[in-house]
Amino acid sequence: MSATVEKPPSAQVAAPPLPEPRGPVSSAVLAALRGAACPECPDVGPAISAANPYRDDIQLAMYCLYELHYRGFAEVAEELEWEPALLAVRRELERSFLAGLRRDVPPGTDVQAEIAELLTEPADVDGRGVSHHLMRDGTLRQLREYLALRSLYHLKEADPQAWVIPRLHGAAKAALVTVEHDEYGAGDPERMHAELFARMLRALDMDDAYGAYLNAAPAEALAEVNFMSMCGLHRPLRGSLIGQFVTVELTSSPGSDRLVRAMRRLGLGPDAIEFYAEHVEADAVHEQVVRRDVLAPLLGAEPELAADVVFGIRASVHLAEHLESRLLRRWSDGQSSLRRQLPS
């Protein structure tokens, strides 16, 4: 009889600590989460209405309330995930954020035209995005800052998109699950994209703990993740989440290739490079699956979602451009793009 081989115990997952507040709305939300205030939160409606929805106070408050649906926070009771008073505050935040996006993102219904534009890549010598900058002459400090910001999503990669699975049906659902299966390592926890990203952080002497860089992340980085969570948690926004998903899968492969080249130029090793090297190949395949097997049957069954898909694409590009603008502007001025600098 063969001996039983025991598997090593799974690593314990620690919930992150709550971040520091950034204004009256996030202060009220964090106080309620800590239990320092009654679950009947103070009336923050006027403060939400008066605030810029793209700024730190609003985006941090949204991010913290959404995190209750992911891993939560160490100091927060899990029962607060569905606390009606907190959900009411979140709804006001969402209305403000969505209204801002609707105002700033022009409407449209031509999905194929949007896809064609996403697939139009500038030559590397002409590109002005963050990955172009890092590939050509970015520094190791700038690369580490970029990864710190991306960790807010990539350490829970594919989780926001998973919310849309039960909102789809038929061929579109089956194809999206196929892509998600790859994102989760095709059954191998060591190959999960979130784990590959954590391995990359460790290779660059960075903190791989979930939520480690939340206090350092500016509003522009929070907004990208909040948009995914908002669309995933609301059935009426399912088409917009598919638009966001399309945007990521269609633009990821060339950008990942540039980041691989940036890391090689900086002399980084295989553990650092593996995450983006994986995305060069995987997302090139995912691009075809998303276009042919997710979008086509989705719009065939629900053509009225075309405007939502376009909104999801354009809003994703809009928010990504806000973040890229901040990074490139501050780097060109010799400043950190973060709210607080990383340890050297």
Q: What is the pLDDT of residue 127?
A: 76
Q: What is the pLDDT of residues 206-264, one digit of tens each?
A: 999 999 999 999 999 999 999 999 999 999 999 999 999 999 999 988 999 999 999 99
The values of phi and psi at residue 128, to 5°, are -120, 10
pLDDT tens digits for range 103-152: 999 999 999 999 999 988 766 656 789 999 999 999 999 999 999 999 99
Predicted structure pTM score = 0.93
3-state SS class at 109: coil
Structure-block tokens of residue 277: 């090297």
Backbone angles phi, psi at 202, to 5 degrees: -60, -40
Residue whose pair of structure tokens reads 């569905």 in the numeric block: 82
Residue pair 211/74 in contact by the 8 Å Cβ criterion: no
CA distance 340 to 200: 21
Q: Name the token pair of 165.
A: 């699975």
Q: What is the pLDDT of residues 265-301, one digit of tens each?
A: 999 999 999 999 998 877 677 788 888 999 999 999 9
* CA distance linking residue 304 with residue 210, whole number of Å: 38
Task: Please state, as a whole number, how many other Cβ atoms lie within 10 Å of the Cβ of residue 323.
Answer: 22
Q: CA–CA separation, 42 vs 198, rounded Å?
A: 38
Residue with tokens 């898909």: 309
Cα separation, 182 vs 200, whole angstroms: 18
DSSP conformational letter for 78: G
Nearest by Cα to 168 from 252, 35, 321, 293: 293
Please measure the distance between the N-terminal and C-terminal CA atoms of the chain and give it in whole angstroms: 54
The H or E element containing residue 41 is none
- Using the predicted structure, report yes or no on whether residue 6 has a pLDDT greater than 80: no
At 4, the pLDDT band (50, 70, 90 cuts) reads very low
Structure tokens, 266: 């900086």
**Mean pLDDT (the chain, rounded):** 92
| H-run or E-run covering 37 | none
- Mean pLDDT within 12-29: 91
At 18, the amino acid letter reads: L
DSSP character for 71? T
* Other residues' Cβ atoms within 10 Å of the Cβ of residue 35: 12
Cβ pair 214, 19 in contact under 8 A: yes
